[in-house]
Structure 1
Amino acid sequence: MSLRRTLRGTGVAIVTPFTGNGDIDFNALERLINHQINNGVEYLVALGTTGETPTLSKEEKIDIINFVYDKVAGRVPVIVGVGGNNTHELVKDLEKFPLEKAVAVLSASPYYNKPSQEGIFKHYEVLAASSPKPIILYNVPGRTGRNMEASTTLRLAHEVPNIGGIKEAANNMVQCMHILRDRPEHFLVVSGDDDLVMPQLACGMDGVISVAANCFPRQFSDMIRAGLAHDFVTAKKLNDPLLEAYHLLFAENNPAGVKAFLAIQGMIGNHLRLPMVPLSEGLYQKVKVYLNA
């Protein structure tokens, strides 16, 4: 199976809705899943960092995975996020989590530890050997504190079996171009930077795993499909109105921004788990003005 074919287009890093008392709101999660699929996204990512995974128990994670499988019901592919900074604990998670129905595992580079490039390589080498599904690397130095350099990504892509692709979110166009120039033919490269994905498509990226698509699934996925078809006139027309939204989504933190958008749209409640808190009132009002314009 080629991930470059299966996962071409828009994937959505879905949020985890909560009720007012902090429980997972499975009704809202089902509503969100259907909204994404009905509006044309190509696949879903459960338990990405946008899903507030650091504040979910392992039991809750397993419940979410099984719920997403059940409600998606094979309509689109599902990726499961399994990431962290304790390599050996992640190996146990890969053995225990229900991954049979997933097409791949998305795993963020270790955060806080700030390993060397060799440490990052060895971490992923161990995960790839343990995973029942292909590993998609996730480079997000704004969260992890350490950039995974293009040379490390390419070494993993060429040397380690079961490494299927990367979600590249370093906000670095030159780094992206090096990866795209030298990747193996089978290696999936998708963006993790919603605001840069349109020009990244012109460089050869295969799509995106998006936050913004939670709240703009039709417009955003149409923009990605236009870019993949090299119709950048259409892509720009769809992308330009979203530029302010990208800023508002990430002005304070993620997923507080996207949860505010979704709450105003009536999709979920505006609830997060500490240490995350809702957007400040001033920024929340700016989101309302944007959505009502």
Structure 2
Amino acid sequence: MPLLTEDAKGVYIIAVTPFTDDGAVDWNGVDRMVDFYEEKGVTGLTILGLLGEAPKLTSEESRSIAKRVIDRVAGRLPVVVGVTAPGLAPMRELAESVMDMGASGVMVAPPWTTKTDDQAYAFYASVGDALGKTPWVLQDYPLTTNVTIAPKVIERIVRDVPTCVMLKHEDWPGLSKIGALRASSDKGEVRRISILCGNGGLFLPEEMARGADGAMTGFCYPEMMVGVVENYAKGDVQRAHDIFDAYLPLARYEQQQGIGLASRKYVLAKRGVISSAALRKPGGALSNADIADVERLLARQTKRLQEIGA
């Protein structure tokens, strides 16, 4: 499988991890999930992320899931694997393991103890040293990590660590960060790297307008992100926004802390992608009222998609 590069673009879906009702990994569900994402036109897969419930997996489960996914795509799509860990040694161990399996690259979030610009730079410089030649994604997700990384720090990392090939941008608000990074690369001040955006795609059209190359996030309808990115690439900005608008109410609902992932898994189960909507404990669950909300949103979404012919 080709390695991840600075030229990556499109939609790298953040995959869920399917579990059975009793919390075991649903291996057949992993296969169906991979097939579903490929059928919907995603460019690549990102597994073992925060919303893939990676912290709830054993190290052996993490490696086994990575192998199952990589084997299932059989080189047709690139696979990025989250390897964030409390220390560099387990991070390097998992990264080496999945790269040997055929992964295209890995993703790393900063530790919550990172407080200053120099600490952020030092951490990612050490990541570059630890991972050797493995290409990696800098995950910038302050809402979850509580670590804010300024554009100038990202630029410094990009200059000094050539294996950093992508920024997973999830700052909020963060459109100006994309603009600042693109301005620097346009001027030749720093190497241009891929920027794929998160936050469930809530700001994807605006992020594309600021210079993002696509999305690296999850949503129970990946075809929304595929449609937005493809139409922006063709220059049909109006169509991109029409597609986005049709899905926005459900995407907004899915971004709630606590039940957002439960909502995503509920819809994926309803679509037949996974057998169970269960999260591995500890995890949130939808109430009857929550389910009624989701069903109402789905009905309105269906109607709107029919109106715009999508």
TM-score normalised over the length of structure 2: 0.87
The answer to whether the 8 Å contact 2:11/2:226 transfers is yes
Q: Which residue of 2 aligns with 1:48?
A: 49
The answer to whether the 8 Å contact 1:249/1:258 transfers is yes
Matched, 1:273 2:280: yes
Instruction: Please give the residue correspondences for 1:164-179 in structure 2 after superposition, counting only pairs within 5 Å.
Output: 164-171=165-172, 172-179=174-181
Q: Which residue of 1 aligns with 2:154?
A: 153
Instruction: Flag as ranges the 4+ runs of structure 1 deviating above 3 A.
Output: 95-100, 183-186
**In 1, Cα distance between the equivalents of 2:251 and 2:114?**
28
1:22 aligned partner, one-letter code? G
Q: Which residue of 2 aligns with 1:79?
A: 80
Secondary structure of the residue aligned to 1:3 is coil
Q: Which residue of 1 aligns with 2:70?
A: 69
TM-score normalised over the length of structure 1: 0.92
Secondary structure of the residue aligned to 1:66 is helix
Instruction: Please give the residue correspondences for 1:148-227 in structure 2 after superposition, counting only pairs within 5 Å.
Output: 148-171=149-172, 172-183=174-185, 184-193=190-199, 194-212=201-219, 215-227=220-232
Displacement of 1:27 in angstroms is 0.9
**In 2, Cα distance between the equivalents of 1:191 and 1:13?**
11
TM-superposition CA deviations, 1:215-245 (whole Å, max 9, x none): 2122320211111333211101110011101
Displacement of 1:89 in angstroms is 3.4
Give the count of matched residue pairs.
289
**In 2, Cα distance between the equivalents of 1:17 and 1:281?**
22
**Ranges in structure 2 where 5+ consecutive residues have no aligned partner:** 301-310
Matched, 1:120 2:125: no
TM-superposition CA deviations, 1:28-56 (whole Å, max 9, x none): 11111101101111100111111100100
TM-superposition CA deviations, 1:155-179 (whole Å, max 9, x none): 1111112111110101211122112
The answer to whether the 8 Å contact 2:99/2:105 transfers is no
Displacement of 1:88 in angstroms is 4.0
RMSD (CA atoms): 1.8
**In 1, Cα distance between the equivalents of 2:143 and 2:24?**
28
Q: Which residue of 2 aligns with 1:236?
A: 241
Displacement of 1:121 in angstroms is 1.4
**Ranges in structure 1 where 5+ consecutive residues have no aligned partner:** none
TM-superposition CA deviations, 1:242-288 (whole Å, max 9, x none): 11011111123342231122122232211011221223332222112
2:230 aligned partner, one-letter code? R
Secondary structure of the residue aligned to 1:63 is helix
Deviates more, 1:223-232 or 1:158-167: 223-232
**In 1, Cα distance between the equivalents of 2:191 and 2:236?**
23
Displacement of 1:124 in angstroms is 1.3
Displacement of 1:145 in angstroms is 1.0
The answer to whether the 8 Å contact 2:70/2:101 transfers is no
TM-superposition CA deviations, 1:172-196 (whole Å, max 9, x none): 1112211222144441111113111
**In 1, Cα distance between the equivalents of 2:5 and 2:107?**
12
